[in-house]
């Protein structure tokens, strides 16, 4: 038995379990299995046009929307934390699709336990500030409070200060990156696509998914969407699988 007490699965059993899970959650196709994490991590650089003054010289964390890789993988990231849908937790447990959550304290503090359950099931929890403000309008000190204050919350509630931070709305300036660096942030991943329950939005004009793309979605439900988080995951997985992409863990590539 494995340390968690389960008997190790054969490849055949694992495949059968994936097929059954895909059917249970009414996916059009069985999600592809990602390759093992790369032995040599890609070098992450700031995307052209996304630099701030002195970015490289100051050693500020890179801002990027895609991870350089030839592998047909994408990365799922889910932001904020307002919706705490137990069906989403069950679905992700069942399908074993990796993802990273970027959490904002003002919407998660009524139920940290929900996110601890996601974490125990394998999600990586990252920083999305205390109050989800438009950061470039704030002083350096206020930005430091928003970002580093959330690092403290993450440490207290989830055991770790994340290395990944995403600014609300994707908006930042040099002070944002300086403040983030001052409390241990090493990467600032943005996104190249955004998935909703009823559509995909693309940063690139050709509206194509590329290897290494970071995909954004949100913890939202019927209050804001014409559907549920499982509906959003279904839309996400059906498209990436149909186009031959597996979903990999972002942190494995950083
Ligand atoms: Zn957000």
How many domains does the chain fold into?
Answer: 1
211 within a domain of the structure (yes/no):
yes
What is the rounded CA–CA span in Å between residue 119 and residue 92? 11
pLDDT tens digit sequence for 163-218: 999 999 999 999 999 999 999 999 999 999 999 999 999 999 999 999 999 999 99
pLDDT at 1 over 70: no
Q: Which residues surround ligand 1, an ion (CB under 5 A)?
A: 79-80, 168
The mean pLDDT value for 133-159 works out to: 98
pLDDT at 249 over 70: yes
Ligand 1 centroid to Cα of residue 178, in Å, is: 20
Ligand 1 centroid to Cα of residue 17, in Å, is: 34
Ligand 1 centroid to Cα of residue 117, in Å, is: 21
Name the percent of the chain lying above pLDDT 70.
97
pLDDT at 246 over 90: yes
The answer to whether residues 125 and 250 touch, using CB atoms and an 8 Å cutoff, is no
Ligand 1 centroid to Cα of residue 41, in Å, is: 27
What is the rounded CA–CA span in Å between residue 19 and residue 13? 10
Ligand 1 centroid to Cα of residue 31, in Å, is: 27
| Nearest to 176, CA basis, from 145, 202, 200 | 145
E strand map for the chain: 63-64, 73-80, 100-103, 124-127, 188-189, 193-195, 200-202, 214-218, 246-248
47 within a domain of the structure (yes/no):
yes
What is the rounded CA–CA span in Å between residue 198 and residue 26? 16
What is the rounded CA–CA span in Å between residue 147 and residue 194? 23
4 within a domain of the structure (yes/no):
no
The mean pLDDT value for 124-139 works out to: 98
Ligand 1 centroid to Cα of residue 106, in Å, is: 11
The answer to whether residues 154 and 161 touch, using CB atoms and an 8 Å cutoff, is yes
Ligand 1 centroid to Cα of residue 170, in Å, is: 8
Structure-token match 């503090």, residue found: 109
Q: What is the mean pLDDT of the chain?
A: 95
201 within a domain of the structure (yes/no):
yes
pLDDT at 126 over 90: yes
Ligand 1 centroid to Cα of residue 4, in Å, is: 34
What is the rounded CA–CA span in Å between residue 148 and residue 108? 17
The mean pLDDT value for 30-35 works out to: 96
- Residue 79's domain spans which residues? 11-253
Query: Residue 66, SS3?
Result: strand
What is the reported pLDDT for 11?
85
What is the reported pLDDT for 9?
76
Pure H helices in 104-228? 105-108, 112-120, 140-158, 174-182
1 within a domain of the structure (yes/no):
no
The mean pLDDT value for 223-245 works out to: 96
3 within a domain of the structure (yes/no):
no
pLDDT tens digit sequence for 40-76: 999 999 999 999 999 999 999 999 999 999 999 999 9
170 within a domain of the structure (yes/no):
yes
Neighbouring C-beta atoms of residue 226, cutoff 10 Å: 9
What is the reported pLDDT for 169?
98
Ligand 1 centroid to Cα of residue 72, in Å, is: 27
- Domain of 136, CATH number, reads 3.20.20.370
pLDDT at 5 over 70: no
Ligand 1 centroid to Cα of residue 121, in Å, is: 22
What is the reported pLDDT for 2?
58
- DSSP class of residue 155 equals H
242 within a domain of the structure (yes/no):
yes
Ligand 1 centroid to Cα of residue 80, in Å, is: 5
């Amino acid at each position: 038995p494995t340390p968690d007490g389960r008997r190790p699965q054969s490849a055949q059993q694992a495949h059968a379990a994936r097929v059954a899970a895909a059917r249970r959650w009414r996916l059009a196709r069985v999600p592809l299995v990602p390759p093992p994490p790369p032995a040599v991590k890609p070098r992450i650089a700031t995307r052209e046009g996304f630099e701030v003054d002195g970015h490289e010289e100051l050693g500020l964390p890179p801002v990027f929307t895609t991870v350089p890789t030839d592998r047909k993988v994408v990365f799922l990231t889910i932001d904020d934390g307002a919706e705490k849908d137990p069906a989403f937790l069950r679905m992700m447990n069942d399908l074993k699709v990796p993802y990273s959550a970027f959490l904002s304290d003002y919407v998660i503090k009524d139920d940290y336990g929900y996110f601890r359950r996601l974490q125990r099931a394998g999600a990586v929890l990252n920083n999305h500030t205390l109050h989800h403000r438009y950061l470039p309008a704030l002083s350096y000190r206020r930005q430091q409070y928003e970002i580093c204050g959330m690092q403290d919350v993450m440490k207290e509630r989830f055991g770790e200060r994340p290395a990944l931070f995403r600014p609300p709305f994707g908006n930042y300036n040099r002070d944002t990156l300086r403040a983030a660096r001052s409390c241990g942030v090493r990467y600032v991943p943005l996104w190249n696509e955004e998935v909703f329950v009823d559509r995909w939005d693309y940063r690139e004009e050709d509206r194509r998914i590329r290897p290494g793309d970071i995909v954004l979605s949100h913890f939202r439900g019927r209050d804001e969407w014409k559907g549920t988080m499982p509906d959003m995951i279904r839309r996400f997985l059906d498209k990436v699988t149909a186009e031959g992409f597996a979903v990999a863990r972002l942190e494995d590539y950083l």
